[in-house]
Amino acid sequence: MALSVSIDSLLTNHQSQLGFVHHNGQSRPLGSNNILHLQKASKTPRSFSFLLSVQASEIKPHVAVQSKGRSSFAQTAAVKHLTGSVIRTQGLRFAVVVARFNEFITKQLLEGALGTFKNYSVQDEDIDVVWVPGSFEIGVVADRLGKSGKYHAILCIGAVIRGDTTHYDAVSNSAASGVLSAGLSSGVPCIFGVLTCDNLDQAINRAGGKSGNKGAEAALTAVS
């Protein structure tokens, strides 16, 4: 029997995680064993509806479900936690994109990053450093490097320091969205190691000063 269920109701039923089925004016929770086949039926913005082939009514949690096609989902008794490892780094390859602008700061960030890679046993020959003029240019290069398929992560380093005009906002926002879209479009993690500071002191403190080294922290994120 084919029923339809809206994405809104899928999101509200926390208990079964599968939502409620509305049929013949009645509403009942949908259990995973009820579903034989889940198939997208239409794509209107607010009601993303699915065609569900529903089996007999009994609801039993913790039963794995598979759907045809690429996507499948399962409801299992154990919760899986997937985390990155910073231990097994052998064979990991990284690119570092670093901005020359405010080089006295970005050099320190780069030093911190390379130090972290070394501490976590990443080999020098597995790291390529690419210099760009300013933080504004980081995104396009990170995107290209990500799409090359040569690296497991791209670490992006820059230092944007506020001046008198609104230029700061343009550069820092562009750097952030450039790095974000590089990661999204390449599918390779692009790590944001760009300082966005109100003044030089803030930058110095974060480039090996009293607030640590944000380049080193970003490198650990890349490894993870």
Ligand X SMILES: Nc1c(NC[C@H](O)[C@H](O)[C@H](O)CO)[nH]c(=O)[nH]c1=O
Based on the shown chain and the rule CB under 6 A, indicate whether residue 189 belongs to the binding site for ligand X.
Answer: no
Let me know if 14 is a catalytic residue: no
Give the one entry of ligand X, ligand LTPLIIQW, none that residue 84 binds, where binding means its C-beta sits below a cut-off of 5 to 8 angstroms depending on kind: none
CB-nearer residue toward ligand LTPLIIQW: 62 or 167: 167
Position 57, amino acid:
S
CB-nearer residue toward ligand X: 105 or 219: 105
Beta strands in 47-204 (DSSP E): 50-54, 94-99, 127-132, 153-161, 190-197
Q: Taking CA 211 as the corner, what is the angle to CA 207 and CA 213, rounded to the nearest 5 degrees?
A: 35
Paired residues of 54 in beta bridges: 35
Paired residues of 96 in beta bridges: 129, 155
CB-nearer residue toward ligand LTPLIIQW: 18 or 159: 159
| Residues at the interface with ligand LTPLIIQW (CB under 6 A) | 160-161, 163-165, 167-168, 171
Give the one entry of ligand LTPLIIQW, ligand X, none that residue 164 binds, where binding means its C-beta sits below a cut-off of 5 to 8 angstroms depending on kind: ligand LTPLIIQW
Given a contact cutoff of 8 angstroms between Cβ atoms, the answer to whether 131 and 98 are in contact is: yes
What tokens appear for 37 in the block?
Answer: 């086949």
What tokens appear for 214 in the block?
Answer: 């944000």
Based on the shown chain and the rule CB under 6 A, indicate whether residue 197 belongs to the binding site for ligand X.
Answer: no
Q: Which residues contact ligand X by CB under 6 A?
A: 99, 101-102, 133-137, 158-161, 167, 171
Q: Which residues are catalytic?
A: 167
